[in-house]
């Protein structure tokens, strides 16, 4: 056990030195065990490029920092960094960044009702998905103090993108 702790300390020191030098951290190829500790040094390999790992559509992806507590019960808290992909059409239950009547929001999206006959599109760019013409749209928080929002015909509504990853600071 003492040997494992010493190895973990060595790895932590190496990661800190690489970060100071502007190098990317090394990647644990065998995964990180969340149970019994194992000698991690045996599983370390080359560097990891987080953009390559987290971004599927580079031209359509941006990052955003969370402000507020409306998604706290989904594990998303103030200060988290979101990876948001504008190229993905949102599906039922996806977490999306949207703009509703001039206010930005992070919500889970839901579609109800029958398919609409006329296409309803976002009033503004950057994104206008076909889903906006298909069904009623509801936006849900993950905090009981916020009520669900029904997106109505008269609302100025734009989906900016679908959240694909959440990056958290743990210390």
List pLDDT tens digits, range 143-157: 999 999 999 888 888
Q: What is the pLDDT of residues 98-134, one digit of tens each?
A: 999 999 999 999 988 755 443 344 444 444 455 555 5
111 with 154, same domain: the answer is: yes
The answer to whether residue 75 scores a pLDDT higher than 80 is: yes
| Residue 79 counted as domain residue | yes
Domain ranges, residue 64: 58-167
158 with 74, same domain: the answer is: yes
112 with 139, same domain: the answer is: yes
Catalytic, 45? Answer: no
Which residue among 38, 70, 114, 169 is the active-site one?
70
Catalytic, 110? Answer: no
* pTM over cut 0.85: no
**Residues 109, 149: Cα–Cα separation, whole Å:** 10
Helices (H) then strands (E): counts for the chain: 2, 9
Which residue among 107, 114, 145, 169 is the active-site one?
107
């Amino acid at each position: 056990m003492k040997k494992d702790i010493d190895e973990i300390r060595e790895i932590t020191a190496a990661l800190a030195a690489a970060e100071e030098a502007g190098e990317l951290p090394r990647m644990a190829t065998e995964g990180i065990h969340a149970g019994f500790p194992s000698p991690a040094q045996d599983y370390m390999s080359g560097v990891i490029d987080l953009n390559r790992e987290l971004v599927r559509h580079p031209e359509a992806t941006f990052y955003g920092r969370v402000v507020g507590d409306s998604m706290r019960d989904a594990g998303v808290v103030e200060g988290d960094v979101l990876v948001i992909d504008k190229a993905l059409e949102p599906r039922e239950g996806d977490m999306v960044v949207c703009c509703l009547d001039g206010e930005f929001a992070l919500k889970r999206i839901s579609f109800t009702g029958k398919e609409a006959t006329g296409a309803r599109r976002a009033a503004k760019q950057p994104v206008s998905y076909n889903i906006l013409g298909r069904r009623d749209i509801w936006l849900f928080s993950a905090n009981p103090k916020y009520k669900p929002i029904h997106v109505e015909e008269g609302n100025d509504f734009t989906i900016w993108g679908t959240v694909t990853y959440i990056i958290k600071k743990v210390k």
